[in-house]
Structure 1
Amino acid sequence: MGSVSKIACISVLSLSLGTGAAQASSTHIIVNNSIVTSDETYQSHGITMVSLNAVQSLPGVSITWNNSTKTVAIDRNGEKTLLKAEKKSATLGSKNITLPVATTLKNGRIMVPLRFIADSSSAYVSWNPKSQTAYIAKANNEIKSKYTSDELNVSRGAAIKLPKVSNLKDFTPKGYENLNTDYYFPEGKSNSFFIQEMDVISYYKISNDRSELIWIARFDSTKKESSSLSFLPYKLVEQDGQKPTIQGRITHFNFMAAIGEISYNLIDNNGKELNPGQKPVDPINFFFDIPYEQK
């Protein structure tokens, strides 16, 4: 994309994001799976503003604040972006940019338009109107390298750490709270997975160094019902997105945080559990090879 097109895109997307956010009573911002606290974001004329602190964790980006000149400098692999507090203009390389609203100083923090700072950092940004959530995603090189590893357990451990994004509803788990989390992978694969927390299950697919939520559902474990998912033979109470159909066996891990161990098994097309076992959690490689899993 050329510089002029990129600048135009930044401005248009900033306004699009702000329009949706202005309709919300509260806006959530998630940067690489971490929720930005409410005191680091606010609305200005329908535009989502965020503290620079919220995006300091983005990899490959150096952000500095010059208090004497009230100037923010963003360095992304040698490409410089400069903007001043209380100004609606900025420079991206040699190009001048007009911001939708002026940057501000608030409670000792420099606040900037969310879309601008994310695009200046070459991060992926999306707005989910269903949950009133803005996502900023940019995986670091270590996670990307591990995800492409030939070792399945290493790749799976990285897969669940990649930045997650969603355009679907957000279901909060209900019932008796526990510290268990279930992970399901198609046998021999790491490019898609399910995460189950209590009565909510989510299905993610990985592309472009991020995990996108494809399907989410709430189920009633007291009511059996036939399903295209052998490991989930329960009645679905509500759902959003496209429910997947998985052919072949499923690899299942149950993380028990309270005791620091993971139980595991394979699940065949009939829902039968095969080769169960249990191991202590390895902090280096969260997952491990399951006996008899075909790769």
Structure 2
Amino acid sequence: MKKYFKPSLLAILVLAALSGKAIASGSGSISIDVNNDRIDTDAASYIDHGTTIVPLNVLQKIPGISVAWNNSNKTVTIVQNKKTITLVAGQNSAAIGSNRVKLPVASLIKNGRVMVPLRFIAEAADAYIGWNPYTRNVHVVKPTPEMIEKTKSSNLAEARQATLKLPTVRLLKPITQGVGSDSKYYYFPEGKADQIFMTIGNGVEYLEAINGHLEQKWVARFDGKGTIKGPFFLPDIAEEVGKQPAISSDRITFFKQILPIGEADYGFIEKNGQITTLGHHDMPGLYDFFVIPEEK
């Protein structure tokens, strides 16, 4: 049985993603996402001397590491593969294996909670971390080897599905976008899986796969009165943030997903603007791409 979307809810979620807006967690508060999952914390995170300080339970959500707290000697121990990282509450240095390194801010115990500097630990554990000052959202990214391997599939549809399921980092300033639509468009340079344009309603964002995560590089709004020239397959732009990407292929592959019925039109757009719709295919879920035989 096909599962169809509730368009109004999906439109809200997609528009929030396109604009880079974090789902509100309170004015001035800091939200933390680990591999796209919002983390509920038992104490409020805060910034000290430019460093985000988080409760210890945030570290436990990062894949591939183990975290232990020794209350008798006030020591945090993090193990990742064969690497051991130790911090002592109140000390402004830490150990990575046998090496001592200076911390930007010491870990501490605050209101009965162990608080630690997130960036130092995440990067020491080989995770990527990004901070969006506009939404006060921290992205922590550590994809599994299996996730990355799937993006390399020789089956282009599978590679695209896997790429869109990578953790996504949005660090651009949000822009105001209008109402959604019952259709969502995906545009790929022909033969590519690692460069994606997505539109719904009058919003568009461009994502690139970089080192195991998707990174928002450009977001824009078009309203029929735009004066900024956009990519050849999009209307003129009224407002944009980020760097408008160059197109790496001679034509664009498109999927127009019709959300209420879980199906999609698909085809190509040439550089001269000519649109060729090749057919219609089931597309019941987000990122349920399929092979287009005519695609090179």
Fold conserved (TM > 0.5)?
yes
CA deviation map 1:198-249 (0-9, x unaligned): 32211122232222222211111x458895534312x312102221243433
8 Å CA contact 2:226, 2:238 repeated in 1 = no
What is aligned with 1:123? 127
Which range moved further: 56-65 or 211-220?
Answer: 56-65
Instruction: Measure, in 2, the Cα distance between the counterparts of 1:214 and 1:63.
Output: 33
Q: State the 1:268 CA deviation.
A: 1.8
CA gap 1:254/1:41 in 2 versus in 1, 3 angstroms: farther
8 Å CA contact 2:228, 2:237 repeated in 1 = no
Please say if 1:137 is aligned against 2:141: yes
Please say if 1:61 is aligned against 2:72: no
RMSD: 3.1
Please say if 1:200 is aligned against 2:203: yes
Structure 2 unaligned spans of 5+: 1-26
What is aligned with 1:18? none
Please say if 1:289 is aligned against 2:255: no
CA deviation map 1:232-267 (0-9, x unaligned): 12x3121022212434332223445555x2413113
Please say if 1:190 is aligned against 2:193: yes
What is aligned with 1:209? 212
Please say if 1:263 is aligned against 2:264: yes
What is aligned with 2:275? 272
Q: State the 1:290 CA deviation.
A: 2.3
Q: State the 1:54 CA deviation.
A: 2.6
Structure 1 unaligned spans of 5+: 1-23
CA deviation map 1:34-64 (0-9, x unaligned): 3445755223354311223334333322222
Q: State the 1:113 CA deviation.
A: 0.7
CA gap 1:287/1:43 in 2 versus in 1, 3 angstroms: same
8 Å CA contact 1:31, 1:55 repeated in 2 = no
Please say if 1:97 is aligned against 2:101: yes
Instruction: Measure, in 2, the Cα distance between the counterparts of 1:45 and 1:148.
Output: 40
CA gap 1:134/1:194 in 2 versus in 1, 3 angstroms: same
Matched to 1:289, the amino acid is V
Q: TM-score, normalised by structure 1?
A: 0.76
User: Higher relative contact order by CA 8 Å / sep ≥ 6: 1 or 2?
Assistant: 2
What is aligned with 1:15? none
Identity of aligned residues (%): 38
CA deviation map 1:148-205 (0-9, x unaligned): 1111111111111223334532235422x45754321112111211122332211122
Matched to 1:214, the amino acid is K
Aligned mate of 1:161, from 162, 165, 168: 165
What is aligned with 1:237? 238
Q: TM-score, normalised by structure 2?
A: 0.76
